[in-house]
Amino acid sequence: MDIHEYQAKEILARYNVEVPRGGLAYSPEQAAYRASEIGGSRWVVKAQIHSGARGKAGGIRLCANDKEISEAAEFMLGRKLVTAQTGPRGKLVSRLYVEEAMDIQREIYLGFVLDRKEERVMIVASGSGGMEIEEIAEREPDSIIRAVVDPGTGMMEFQAREIAFGLGLDNAIIGKAVQTLMGCYRAFRELDASMLEINPLVVTRDGRLLALDAKMSFDDNALFRRPQISELRDKSQEDPRETFASDRGLSYVGLDGRIGCIINGAGLAMATMDMIKIAGGEPANFLDIGGGASPERVAKSFRAVLGDKNVETILVNIFAGINRCDWVAEGVVKAIREVGVPVPLVVRLAGTNVEEGRRILAESGEQIIVAETLAEAAEKAVAAWKSVTRAAA
């Protein structure tokens, strides 16, 4: 789960990470009022969406008076901001963050991420802030500092000092850098974050060290024990297909193809998507119904897939271990009769109670294309999709 910049900054401030003064606004008038509350002579108006690269898309503006603030707010609010990270659909701007402008001397990149290969928290830092980490790695690979945290001890202050010295910071702000690094690590660990990024972390001309921008993502599987974090979720920033599925306990990722997938197991789902592409099609989604799929859960999966209006064929591929093929078959028939499946449907079942499952499908009287192998299922799904495309043409 992602959160907004202003929410990440509120969290970091509670962990002794210094951030600029700012306030939330939902209208141009409120944005101008926030600036008067903050004081000063220059302010930054920032669109709050779950995406980076906002500045290049017009989502960050430096303003010197109320008129410029109001104009910036008028431009952003209600607009779908399209960045390099949002894709062509963009993301709707419904709130702004007005922040004091800083006199920047230097920009730094700082990131915390869960390295699943090492099974450790990895700290990534660079003296070249303001760019995406991919750009930094390409342009200045030698500037990147990496440090791994031992889970037995947690992050130690000597590690934070090593990183600070490695960034070439002045001795006068080494203590502030240690405080910032330790605070970020504590927030990351205590709140079950999966990613924390400050880009840029800036050194100001008056010797302050501030998080000028901040991103945080959290482990969805840990939200049940972090209610204060789950409350920060903004569904308007999510793919509506993924939100629908997530609210019903389904693992779903929306894609751009035309063949909807209902599969159990992440590995089988990936293999099925690959086979669809090999057969000449494109998957519309990744959907894992999990290990104990009841008929009701299968029907919910159909609703999730059919919520994507681009889906022109559905492929159900179940290898039953914990699952049972007869349960899945009952769910497929139930979905056809209750939900309605207006597109070709290909079903491949294997594993526990497979004969009973196939019998239920055969005797249902519904139009179901049955396959026995994964390759056959993918080929039949692509053939069915192409027939729909030809008919429409």
Residue 185 falls in the annotated catalytic set = no
102 is in an annotated binding site: yes
Catalytic residue (choose from 6, 109, 185, 252): 109
- In whole angstroms, how far apart are CA 269 and each of 75, 260, 324, 378, 386? 42, 11, 17, 12, 21
338 labeled binding residue: no
Task: Tell whether 353 is in a known binding site.
Answer: no
| Residue 107 is assigned to a ligand binding site | yes
Is-catalytic flag, 197? yes
Q: Tell me if 99 is assigned to a ligand binding site.
A: yes
Identified catalytic residue from 197, 242, 312, 330: 197
71 annotated as ligand-binding: no
- If we measure between CA atoms, which residue out of 215, 241, 384, 248 comes closest to residue 310? 241
| Tokens 């999510």, located at residue | 238
Q: Residue 227 burial by CB count (10 A; 0-12/13-18/19+): exposed, middle or buried?
A: exposed
* CA 379 and chain centroid, separation: 31
Q: Is there a binding annotation on residue 310?
A: no
| 3-class secondary structure per residue, the chain | CECCHHHHHHHHHHCCCCCCCEEEECCHHHHHHHHHHHCCCCEEEEECCCCCCCHHHCCEEEECCHHHHHHHHHHHCCCEECCCCCCCCCEECCCEEEEECCCEEEEEEEEEEEECCCCEEEEEEECCCCCCHHHHHHHCHHHEEEEEECCCCCCCHHHHHHHHHHCCCCHHHHHHHHHHHHHHHHHHHHCCEEEEEEEEEEEECCCCEEECCCEEEECHHHHHHCHHHHCCCCHHHCCHHHHHHHHCCCEEEECCCCEEEEECCHHHHHHHHHHHHHCCCCECEEEECCCCCCHHHHHHHHHHHHCCCCCCEEEEEEEECCCCHHHHHHHHHHHHHHHCCCCCEEEEEEECCHHHHHHHHHHCCCCCEEECCHHHHHHHHHHHHHHHHHHHC
* Residues in binding site for ATP: 46, 99, 102, 107
Supply the residues annotated as catalytic.
109, 197
* Residues in binding site for Mg(2+): 199, 213
* Residues in binding site for substrate: 264
* Residues in binding site: 46, 99, 102, 107, 199, 213, 264
